[in-house]
């Protein structure tokens, strides 16, 4: 218990530093969705493409603790810290006490959870459930302990209600059962039926999301990414290589549980990769769904490979030590602080990067009118991803701009917030290329239109731009003069 308490304290010290870091695009969407009436959140998510469990939980959380960065990040921090004793229980029950302690150590220090412990998204929540699902599956299905099989049903149901990639995890569980626990296929079928029964109410919304939303901001993953994806939850490729080497040394000791966990990971990753070849939706943060089996197998690899395992563990901890997301993940907060003093109630704010609106609305507050390159925005706390690419492609600036700007009176001011295109690698996907093109068209048109005069230009020294998934913004204040 003292060792676990020490690991929790260490993890808290590693992960508390960025509790009040500024929101980025997705976090603004999370808080915006959670602010809707609690019972309406599932319906609102028809526009987003996500399942509702995390947003419903966040909705309750912000009503109890507020919606500040620190308050909402604290929810993820709670799941991150709670995963440490859970990881110990998982490792001890499935294998032995040493594996339990190694699991707890890895969960306490992995950069993946350090990063997502202070992000208002579902990844720490999903990682916690992944750990619980692993122990419930092994104990309940593979070892036939029915009480654990009962636990597995709501756990997996919460996973699929937390993130769509958990559906791939479910297929992985089925394949692992067919290969390594065939004698308990009947019990697994009962578990699957229970999960399906709980998930049925969401199927109409899921069907609508599949038809009309998605992740057009993503690109197809490479063949290389198929083999390195699991390393995302272990802090990168170098850590993955270290654990794989240790695993090969101790491979002779692997039984059916270890092999079932390997199949579970491989099937989940492979299905996500194949699905993203058809409809791109690939990003490493989604692999929280395999956090449980990946960490458990890594702990087994270290514990059974002798000196090689010890060296691998020290090498990994050395690589992990000092990891800290030091900067805001986006500069929306800093831009909003610069713009806010010159804004007036009812003024128009236009974002040429449409999905930035919820995070900008969070920082600039209510009482403003909003628009994007798609046109006026009725609900600034949510971005509508339904048929977004075709809608933006059809939103010709010569048609949309007059409609949006006609509401600005002579002498009136309005704000245009656009991306900073410093790293073009971030704009290769179908959606982001179109956002880039429309942003350029709007910016050039406004700069050359004599009816509008530039009054202010706000920007920041955005360090995070070196990462190609951060999309910093700049703001222009225009006045209508003709």
The continuous run of DSSP H or E covering 370 comes out as strand 369-372
DSSP 142: I
Q: Worst-scoring range by mean pLDDT, 183-197, 239-253, 301-315, 336-350?
A: 239-253
Measure Cα distances from 388 to 277, 353, 430 in Å. Answer: 20, 12, 11
Share above pLDDT 70 across residues of the chain, in percent, rounded to a whole number: 97
Average pLDDT of every residue of the chain: 91
**How does residue 328 score in pLDDT terms, banded at 50, 70 and 90?**
confident
Query: Do 443 and 379 form a contact (C-beta atoms < 8 A)?
Result: no
Burial class of residue 208, CB neighbours in 10 A (0-12, 13-18, 19+): middle
What's the pLDDT at 199?
A: 97
CB of 400 within 8 A of CB of 377? no
Q: For residue range 135-150, what is the model confidence (pLDDT) as tens digits?
A: 999 999 999 999 999 9
Higher-scoring residue by pLDDT: 248, 360: 360
How far apart are alpha carbons 192 and 37 in whole angstroms?
A: 32
Question: Which residue from 450, 458, 452 is spatially nearest to 413, judged by alpha carbons?
Answer: 452
CA distance 185 to 335: 56
What number of helices (H) and strands (E) belong to the chain? 22, 6
SS (H, E, C) 387-405: CHHHHHHHCCHHHHHHHHH
Which pLDDT score, from 0 to 100, does residue 465 have?
Answer: 45
Q: Per-residue pLDDT tens for 89-121?
A: 999 999 999 999 999 999 999 999 999 999 999
Mean pLDDT of 167-191: 96
Torsion of the alpha carbons at 134, 136, 139 and 144, rounded to the nearest 10: -130
Structure-token pair, residue 431 = 């959606």
**Which CA distances in Å does 175 have to 148, 180, 292, 380?**
19, 9, 17, 43
Q: For residue 417, what are the CA distances in angstroms to 92, 327, 337, 458?
A: 52, 21, 13, 9
pTM of the model: 0.94
> 425 pLDDT band (50/70/90 cuts)?
low
Residue (of 391, 393, 415, 394) closest to 404 by Cα position: 415
Enumerate residues 6+ apart whose C-beta is below 8 A from 175: 263, 264, 267
Average pLDDT over residues 7-25: 90
Q: Which phi and psi (to 5°) does residue 439 adopt?
A: -60, -45
State residue 467's pLDDT score: 45
Which strands make up the sheet holding 473-480, listed edge to edge? 375-376, 369-372, 348-351, 413-419, 473-480, 452-458
pLDDT of residue 235: 80
Per-residue confidence band for 273, with pLDDT thresholds at 50, 70 and 90: very high
**What pLDDT does residue 329 have?**
84
| Dist. CA 255–CA 14, nearest whole Å | 35
Residue 374, phi then psi, degrees to nearest 5? -85, -20
């Amino acid at each position: 218990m003292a060792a676990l308490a020490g690991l929790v304290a260490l993890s808290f010290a590693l992960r508390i530093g960025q509790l009040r870091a500024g929101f980025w695009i997705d976090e603004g969407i999370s808080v915006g969705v959670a602010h809707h009436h609690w019972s309406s959140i599932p319906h609102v998510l028809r526009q987003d493409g996500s399942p509702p469990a995390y947003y419903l939980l966040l909705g309750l959380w912000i009503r109890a603790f507020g919606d500040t960065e620190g308050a909402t990040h604290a929810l993820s921090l709670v799941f991150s810290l709670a995963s440490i004793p859970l990881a110990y229980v998982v490792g001890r029950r499935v294998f032995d006490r040493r594996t339990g302690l190694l699991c707890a150590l890895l969960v306490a220090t992995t950069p993946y959870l350090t990063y997502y412990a202070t992000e208002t998204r579902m990844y720490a929540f999903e990682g916690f459930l992944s750990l619980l699902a692993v122990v419930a599956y092994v104990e309940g299905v593979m070892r036939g302990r029915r009480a654990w099989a009962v636990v597995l049903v709501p756990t997996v149901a919460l996973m699929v209600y937390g993130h769509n990639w958990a559906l791939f995890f479910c297929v992985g569980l089925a394949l692992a059962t067919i290969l390594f626990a065939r004698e308990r296929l009947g019990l697994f079928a009962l578990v699957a039926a229970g999960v399906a029964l709980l998930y049925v109410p969401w199927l109409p919304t899921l069907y609508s999301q599949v038809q009309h939303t998605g992740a057009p901001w993503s690109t197809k993953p490479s063949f290389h990414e198929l083999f390195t994806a699991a390393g995302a939850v272990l802090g990168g490729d170098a850590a993955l290589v270290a654990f794989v080497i240790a695993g090969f040394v101790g491979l002779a000791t692997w039984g059916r549980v270890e092999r079932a966990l390997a199949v579970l990971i491989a099937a989940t990753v492979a299905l996500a990769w194949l699905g993203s070849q058809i409809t791109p939706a690939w990003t490493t943060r989604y692999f929280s769904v395999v956090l449980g089996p990946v960490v458990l197998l890594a702990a087994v690899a270290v514990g059974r490979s002798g000196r090689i395992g010890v060296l691998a563990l020290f090498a990994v901890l050395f690589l992990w030590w000092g990891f800290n997301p030091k900067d805001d993940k986006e500069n929306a907060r800093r831009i909003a602080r610069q713009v806010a003093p010159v804004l007036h109630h009812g003024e128009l704010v236009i974002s040429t990067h449409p999905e930035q609106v919820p995070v900008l609305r969070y920082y600039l507050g209510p009482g403003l009118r909003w628009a994007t390159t798609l046109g006026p925005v009725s609900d600034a706390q949510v971005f509508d991803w339904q048929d977004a690419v075709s809608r933006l492609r059809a939103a010709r600036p010569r048609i949309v701009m007059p409609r949006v700007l006609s509401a600005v009176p002579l002498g009136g001011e309005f704000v245009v917030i656009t991306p900073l295109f410093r790293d073009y690698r971030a704009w290769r996907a179908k959606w982001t290329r179109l956002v880039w093109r429309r942003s350029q068209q709007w910016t050039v048109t406004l700069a050359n239109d004599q009816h509008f005069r530039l009054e202010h230009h706000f920007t920041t020294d955005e360090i995070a731009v070196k990462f190609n998934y951060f999309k910093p913004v700049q703001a222009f204040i225009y006045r209508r003069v003709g």
